[in-house]
A and B are shown apart, each in its own frame.
Chain A
C-alpha cells in the first residue's frame, strides 16, 4: 500500500499570504496525485488532478506541482473562504490512498 504523508498537519495563516502543503509518497507514483478541499460539514471537492491540472471552476490561486514522490499544493493569496482541510490522493496502485489531511485556519 502506498502511504501519503502530508505536511504540515495544521497551519494558521493571514489572508493574502501564500500557503504551501506538501504530500510525500512512500514510492514513486508518477503524476497520479490529486488534491481535494473539504470544508467543515461538507463533502470533499476536487481542486487539482494529476498533480498540476486545475479542475473546472477552481479559482486560479490554487495550483499543484510535483511528480514521483513529492508534490505541492499552493494557494496564492489566501482568502477567508479557503479555510478547510486539504487532502492528497494517489491512484497509481490499489488500494487508492489519501494523505492524513492538512488543516488551514485563517488568522
Chain B
C-alpha cells in the first residue's frame, strides 16, 4: 500500500556514512515538501529534516545539523538523506514522508515502509 519506497539502510560503524534514498510516484512528489522521520527501536517518532519543493529551503532537527544533508532530484522523483559522522543514537528506522513543510498542508499524509539504519561497531 505504501507508495514511497526507501532504500539504502544497513549496518555502519560509528563515524561512518550512509545515503538513504526514497522513490515516489509523480503525484505524491511533484510540488510537495518532503521529510525524513525516524524511529529508534521501541521508541517514538522523531522528525529529522524537510526540504521545499525546489530544494531551496531545508530544515533539520538540531541533533543532526552539520551531519545530515537532505536533498531531492525532481527529475527522478527521488528524495535523499546523506548521513555522515553517524552515532549509535542515530540507529533507527528512517521513513520518507510527504509533507512537514512550513506551508500548509504540514501533516504527513504519505509514508514509506521505512529503512533500518544500525550504527554499531
Chain A interface residues (CB < 8 Å from chain B)? 32, 34, 36, 38, 43-46, 49-50, 55, 87, 89, 91, 94-101
When distances are taken between beta carbons in the complex, the residues of chain A under 8 Å from B11 are: none
| Contact between A43 and B113, CB atoms less than 8 A apart | yes
Closest 3 CB pairs of A and B: A91-B106, A96-B47, A43-B111
Residues B44 and A95 in contact, CB atoms below 8 Å apart: no
A32/B106 in contact, CB under 8 A: yes
Query: Inside 8 A of B109's CB, which chain A residues have their CB?
Result: 46, 49, 55
Contacts of A49 in B (CB 8 A): 105, 107, 109
Report B85-114 residues with CB < 8 Å from chain A CB: 95, 100, 102, 105-109, 111-114
A44/B106 in contact, CB under 8 A? no
Cβ of B57 to closest chain A Cβ, rounded Å: 11
A89 and B107 contact, CB distance less than 8 A: yes
A70 to chain B, nearest CB (A): 19
Q: Does the CB pair A87–B107 fall under 8 Å?
A: no
* Shortest Cβ distance from residue A94 to the other chain B in the assembled complex, whole angstroms: 5
Interface of B is mostly: loop
Interface positions, chain B 1-36, Cβ under 8 Å from A, are 2
Total residue contacts A-B, CB cutoff 8 A: 54
Compute how far the CA of A45 lies from the CA of B99 in the bound complex, rounded to whole angstroms: 13
A selection of 7 A-B contacts at a CB cut-off of 8 Å is A43-B95, A46-B108, A50-B107, A91-B107, A98-B47, A101-B44, A101-B45
Judged by DSSP, the binding face of A is loop
Closest B residue to A97 using CB positions:
B47
> Would B46 and A98 count as touching, CB distance under 8 A?
yes
- B62 — which chain A residues lie within 8 A by C-beta? 95
Nearest neighbor of B108 in chain A, beta-carbon distance: A46
What is the distance, in angstroms, from B5's C-beta to the closest C-beta of chain A? 11
How many angstroms between the C-alpha atoms of A43 and B96 in the bound complex? 10
Known A43-B95, A95-B61; contact A100-B44, beta-carbon cutoff 8 A = yes
Q: By the criterion CB–CB under 8 Å, are A94 and B102 in contact? A: yes
Residues of B within 8 Å of A55, CB to CB, are 107, 109
Given contacts A98-B47, A100-B44, contact A44 B107 (CB under 8 A): no
Establish whether residues B111 and A87, one from each chain, have CB atoms under 8 Å apart when the complex forms.
Answer: no
